[in-house]
Amino acid sequence: MSVAIRTRQLTKRFGKLVAVSDLDLTIPTGSIFGFIGPNGAGKTTTLRMLAGLLDPTEGEIELAGESITRNPDAARWLVGYMPDFFGVYEDMKVWEYLDFFARCYRLSPQRRRRVVNELLELVDLAHKRDDFVEHLSRGMRQRLCLAHVLVHDPPILLLDEPASGLDPRARVEMRELLKELGKLKKTIVISSHILSELAELCDTVGIIEKGRLVAAGTVEEVAALARGGRVVRVRLLDASTTRPAALQLLKPYQGVVEVFEDSEGDVVEFVFDGDDVALAALLRHLVTHNVPVISFSSEHTDLEDLFLRLTKGEVQ
Ligand SMILES: Nc1ncnc2c1ncn2[C@@H]1O[C@H](COP(=O)(O)OP(=O)(O)OP(=O)(O)O)[C@@H](O)[C@H]1O
Ligand SMILES: [Mg+2]
């Protein structure tokens, strides 16, 4: 699997406030990742760090295998970042606005002309090319902003609430546009505080609250976790040799929703949807099949409430 974005223990503190805490993200190339959390959860802070605009307090970021922490300039070419609030250059015409950013990326005049035309077509603003930016509607400005972040054809797009402030129709249009971009094999991260808005568009989602990633996976996996599933941690003796057998037993076992293959060291983690009796039977199943379990623990998640609020869009 080729990885577009990987963070390790990414942390940002503002004085005493921990805005992002120990964030481990792995986002495969070409996927559309929904980054979901309530106001103040740390979405914008994370996206700004990924875009190379904000230095992490601790931790590592790799984009397409390149360390941004060591080489922040690399982000400029790899990433198109659409901020949640944008200053537009209001006294420019629509085409001039895009042309201006194409110049910033030192595109040749010929290429600029082609790119500006193609992008205006893509975001459906060709008919507005000679209008002033200040005369565009909010939805049109948002689409122009999206065109702007595509000027240098970056493989990774970081979009901070691209549909905020849009009416329902404009939201649908934005979603269709993002689907088109997904087809171009770009890796896209979209933040939002409403899960249902992203469910259809995204192949994976991560839910962040108070700077911590509380769940990640497909929408179905995260939903299963929120339905009262619990995360079970099993420590194994001599894990390097005994782990495959444990995984083989766990994966088909009834009630096992998801096994986290990437859990580290001697631990195997999985989501289990079942009561205590079922959980005790599972432990017996492992042990009678000679899996050397050293410790076995389970935690209920507090996700359900958060998840319900996020799906209903109550969190504003
Ligand atoms: N430059 C800064 N200085 C101090 N605190 C900051 C700064 N930027 C963000 N914060 C704080 O960090 C926390 C996370 O903020 P962030 O903007 O990342 O949240 P968010 O998930 O994007 O929220 P929203 O949905 O409202 O956009 C908040 O408590 C915020 O007040
Ligand atoms: Mg934000």
Residue ranges of domains in the chain:
3-217, 229-300
Torsion 109-128-81-174 (CA) sign: negative
Ligand 1 near 40 CB (within 6 A): yes
Angle, alpha carbons 195-165-12 (nearest 5°): 60
Residue of 59, 41, 42, 61 whose CA lies nearest to 51 = 61
* pLDDT score recorded for residue 253: 95
* pLDDT score recorded for residue 69: 84
Residue nearest to atom 6 of ligand 1 (CA): 14
Which atom in ligand 1 lies closest to the alpha carbon of residue 15?
4
CATH architecture assigned to 229-300? 2-Layer Sandwich (3.30)
* pLDDT score recorded for residue 279: 92
pTM recorded for the entire structure: 0.80
* pLDDT score recorded for residue 300: 65
CA–centroid distance, 148 to ligand 1, in Å, is: 24
Angle, alpha carbons 85-125-176 (nearest 5°): 75
DSSP count for the chain of H helices, then E strands: 11, 14
Average pLDDT, consecutive stretches of 10 residues, N- to C-terminus, the chain (316 residues): 94 96 94 92 96 94 91 87 77 93 93 96 95 90 92 95 85 88 91 83 90 86 74 91 93 88 80 88 96 88 69 62
Closest ligand to C-alpha of residue 45 is: 1
Ligand 1 near 175 CB (within 6 A): no
- Report d(CA 316, CA 314) in Å as an integer: 6
Ligand 1 near 83 CB (within 6 A): no
* pLDDT score recorded for residue 168: 83
* pLDDT score recorded for residue 311: 66
For residue 95, what are the CA distances in angstroms to 116, 154, 179, 180?
A: 7, 20, 24, 21
Residue type, 78: L
Ligand 1 near 240 CB (within 6 A): no
Ligand 1 near 56 CB (within 6 A): no
Whether the CB-CB separation of 22 and 212 falls below 8 Å is answered with: yes
Residue of 57, 59, 44 whose CA lies nearest to 9 = 59
Superfamily of 3-217 according to CATH: P-loop containing nucleotide triphosphate hydrolases (3.40.50.300)
